[in-house]
Amino acid sequence: SELKEIIHFINKNQQQRSRGKDEKRMSITINKNGRTFIVECIIFQDASFEISINDVTQEEEQVNLKRQLTQNVAHELKTPVSSIQGYLETIVNNENIPREKINVFLERCYAQSNRLSRLLRDISVLTRMDEAANMIDMERVDISVLVGNIINEVSLELDEKHITIVNSLRKSIQVKGNYSLIYSIFRNLMDNAIAYAGTNIQININCFREDESFYYFSFADTGVGVSPEHLNRLFERFYRVDKGRSRKLGGTGLGLAIVKNAVIIHGGIISAKNNQGGGLEFVFTLAKEK
């Protein structure tokens, strides 16, 4: 039944074939079972015809993803820009504002400009992964050293929230990959746990298995976890479990999307689950050095 228009087009033009010498074309789009097809029909001068059916689901998804990303980016940029503009406008239009008040407004502008900077950086990383994944430089990366460096970098935040790190990675876990993207996997997972898991918790980092092709990693915390309905959407761009709290803490909503894309570029897969004892666990694979 989906091809009714095509059948009608063929019958009509075969009956009228004596009237024209040019070939005739028709194209329709069909959505069926969650997939998108373009059906094209060409009727030649001798009334023979050709029908081609192309599955363009992936291309359509890419178009929709880019459209959605553009809309989300515009929305996310609007808030900090409006905030900066409002504070600066108040300062410019009021000569008698006390110096202390001006300083408060400037500090808020600075905080919002930092948020803008992080957002633009994350968008840039995602765009690079989407459009030039095969052009990303690869080198030998020692994950054990990389994770040790990240733990040192976030030591102050860990102390402030009374978070203990249990790093069970053995020495010399090496993959062939892009250092900055692998760094972004572990750094974003770490930042996510520090920001949202709570205080007086433990973060466990482990390579619990390996085979000929992959290392299997677990990054888990003993914090608050997330509601089950959020688990499958955690890796979506700009998806937030708690929108107000996430923005207040300076999150861009892109951290876990970057993690997922970076894992995929390195030949792996990633999933998230709540632990029975409490907390959130990310399990992912990275392809070994060939």
Give the CATH number for residue 84: 1.10.287.130
Mean pLDDT of 27-49: 87
Residue 221 vs residues 15, 23, 181, 278: alpha-carbon distances, Å: 71, 65, 22, 8
Mean pLDDT of 167-182: 89
Mean pLDDT of 271-288: 90
The burial class, CB within 10 Å (0-12 / 13-18 / 19+), for 260 is buried
Least confident segment among 14-28, 37-51, 80-94, 201-215: 14-28
Is the pLDDT score of 288 beyond 70? yes
Contact 40, 54 (CB under 8 A): yes
Least confident segment among 43-47, 80-84, 103-107: 43-47
Do 110 and 163 fall within a single domain?
A: no
* Higher per-residue pLDDT: 131 or 81: 81
Is the pLDDT score of 123 beyond 80? no
Task: Name the DSSP letter for residue 150.
Answer: H
Contact 150, 186 (CB under 8 A): yes
Do 281 and 165 fall within a single domain?
A: yes
210 CB contacts (<8 Å, ≥6 apart)? 216, 288
Do 263 and 141 fall within a single domain?
A: yes
Do 45 and 103 fall within a single domain?
A: no
Do 31 and 64 fall within a single domain?
A: no
Cβ atoms within 10 Å of 45's Cβ, excluding its own:
11
Is the pLDDT score of 242 beyond 70? no
Residue 39: the pLDDT is 92
Which domain covers residue 12, as residue numbers?
4-55
Q: Alpha-carbon distance 284 to 187, whole Å?
A: 14
Do 30 and 157 fall within a single domain?
A: no
pTM of the model: 0.63
Is the pLDDT score of 36 beyond 60? yes
Do 147 and 283 fall within a single domain?
A: yes
Confidence of residue 249 (pLDDT cuts 50, 70, 90): low
What residue type is 8 in one-letter code?
H
Do 196 and 209 fall within a single domain?
A: yes
Angle at 30 between CA 25 and CA 34, to 5 degrees: 155
Work out how many domains the chain is built from and give that number: 3
Residue 45: the pLDDT is 79
Helices and strands counted in the chain (H then E): 9, 10
**105-131 core/surface letters (b: 16 or more CB in 10 A; e: else):** beeebeebeebbebbeebbebbeebee
Q: Alpha-carbon distance 139 to 150, whole Å?
A: 19
Q: Alpha-carbon distance 227 to 225, whole Å?
A: 7
Give strand ranges (E) for 45-173. Answer: 49-55, 139-142, 164-167
pLDDT, the chain, mean: 84
Mean pLDDT of 268-280: 88
CATH code, domain carrying 260 = 3.30.565.10
Confidence of residue 78 (pLDDT cuts 50, 70, 90): confident
The burial class, CB within 10 Å (0-12 / 13-18 / 19+), for 23 is middle
Q: Alpha-carbon distance 178 to 265, whole Å?
A: 9
Do 120 and 189 fall within a single domain?
A: no
